[in-house]
């Protein structure tokens, strides 16, 4: 009897420890504490946000990166066996492609509805906007006066011969830009524009958006097409050369008196066979929250979808601007035609 009394406290400690570790083990391994993402976004801020989400909720975020089209194919192939709970990509056309492929399911909650305005969500809530970006004209502050041009159409005029810089036609950003012109102005005008751009190219398309700005500064060309966030990334780069490039270019938000500046959207969708639906919804709610949206804007210079989010000074300095009034899903509808036109007109 006496010896039991002495052993008992030790035994209870041992049992508590076993219980504690048992629970911790479950928390780490159980499917209920993880979420899996297939992502085609390639920005540092995303990983910062996933880390923050894990700190807040204890839910581990697993990310597999890849090209959007490949990830969609993978989700189709994997079907019910997929591990992915969420699909993230840039481009409204691709979001629509994922929807059409039948790999998504609606995701909605009062919080998501409050965070993201209706026009930045799929009408069936199969995808939710995470950020927007504008495709603008940048120019050499040394050699170009902003009064010299104000529209995308101006870039195709003879006076810009050998002065225009743009990345290749394989870029979704360019495909969606041309798709927007097909929607707004019709195929014929879109083709004329593409032809004009090709005629005016300063060099065969190469590199990403930032490389076009760099080529302006090194004198290869005078004007370029570029997504807005890359301007912010250049100006705030750790590389002083990039900062110099960012400061040497001016920005024009095109078509303010006509059809508006082209914007595109980046978004997230719940996969059809998600096994961690609750966690996935929590992550969508977090990513669209004021806090996460302010971070997307501060770190990656994208426009937030949540109207309450803070904007960095650069975005504030740009003020408000007129945007194209197009259903983002239309960018996908015209994608094949856009590629056909680019091929036909010799846009490499
Ligand atoms: Fe990008």
Exposure of 348 in the CB half-sphere (CA atoms within 13 A) = 11
Q: Which tokens go with 23? A: 């629970």
CA of 213 to the centre of ligand 1 (A): 14
Whole-angstrom Cα distance, residue 258 to residue 254?
Answer: 9
- Cα of 145 from ligand 1 centre, angstroms: 27
Q: Cα(226)–Cα(137) distance, rounded to whole angstroms?
A: 6
Tell me the CA–centroid distance for residue 25 and ligand 1, in Å.
39
Tell me the CA–centroid distance for residue 228 and ligand 1, in Å: 10
Q: How far is the CA of 275 from the centre of ligand 1 (A)?
A: 29
Sequence-distant (≥ 6) Cβ neighbours of residue 6 within 8 angstroms: none
pLDDT score recorded for residue 260: 98
253: confidence class by pLDDT, cuts 50, 70, 90: very high
Ligand 1 centroid from CA 81, angstroms: 30
In the reported structure, the alpha carbon of residue 119 is separated from the centroid of ligand 1 by a whole-number distance in angstroms of 22
Task: Provide the CB-side half-sphere exposure for 289 (13 A, CA).
Answer: 12
CA of residue 172 to ligand 1 center, whole Å: 9
User: Are 271 and 279 in contact, with CB atoms under 8 Å apart?
Assistant: no
Lookup: tokens for 98: 């994922």
What spacing in Å lies between the alpha carbon of 187 and ligand 1's midpoint? 26
Residue (of 344, 338, 321, 343) closest to 137 by Cα position: 321
pLDDT, residue 42, reads: 87
Q: What is the pLDDT of residue 9?
A: 54
Distance from residue 24's CA to the centre of ligand 1 (Å): 39
Task: Identify which has the larger pLDDT, 10 or 164.
Answer: 164
Instruction: Read off the pLDDT band of 10 (50, 70, 90).
Output: low
**How would DSSP label each residue in 12-53?**
HHHHHHHHHHHHHHHHHHSGGGEEEEEE----HHHHHHHHHH
């Amino acid at each position: 009897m006496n010896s039991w009394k002495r052993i008992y406290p030790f035994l209870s400690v041992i049992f508590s420890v076993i219980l504690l570790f048992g629970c911790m083990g479950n928390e780490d391994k159980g499917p209920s504490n993880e979420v899996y993402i297939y992502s085609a976004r390639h920005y540092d801020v995303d990983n910062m946000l996933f880390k923050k989400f894990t700190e807040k909720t204890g839910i581990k975020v697993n990310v597999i990166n890849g090209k959007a089209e490949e990830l969609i194919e993978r989700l189709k192939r994997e079907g019910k066996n997929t591990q992915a709970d969420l699909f993230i990509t840039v481009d409204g056309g691709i979001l629509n492609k994922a929807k059409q492929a039948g790999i998504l399911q609606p995701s909605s909650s009062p919080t998501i509805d409050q965070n993201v305005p209706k026009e930045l969500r799929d009408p069936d809530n199969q995808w939710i906007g995470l950020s927007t970006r504008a495709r603008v004209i940048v120019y050499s502050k040394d050699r170009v006066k902003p009064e010299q041009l104000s529209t995308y159409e101006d870039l195709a005029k003879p006076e810009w011969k050998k002065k225009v810089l743009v990345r290749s036609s394989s870029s979704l950003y360019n495909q969606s830009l041309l798709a927007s012109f097909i929607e707004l102005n019709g195929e014929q005008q879109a083709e004329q524009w593409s032809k004009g751009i090709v005629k005016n190219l300063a060099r065969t398309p190469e590199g990403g958006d930032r490389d076009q700005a760099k080529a302006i500064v090194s004198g290869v060309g005078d004007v370029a097409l570029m997504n807005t966030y890359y301007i912010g990334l250049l100006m705030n780069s750790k590389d002083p050369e990039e900062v110099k490039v960012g400061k040497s270019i001016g920005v024009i938000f095109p078509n303010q008196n006509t059809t508006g500046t082209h914007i595109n959207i980046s978004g997230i969708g719940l996969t059809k066979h998600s096994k961690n639906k609750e966690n996935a919804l929590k992550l969508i709610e977090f990513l669209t929250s004021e806090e996460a949206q302010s971070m997307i804007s501060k770190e990656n210079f994208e426009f937030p979808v949540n109207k309450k989010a803070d904007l960095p000074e650069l975005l504030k300095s740009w003020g408000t601007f007129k945007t194209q009034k197009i259903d983002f899903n239309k960018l996908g509808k015209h994608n094949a035609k856009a590629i056909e036109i680019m091929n036909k007109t010799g846009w490499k």
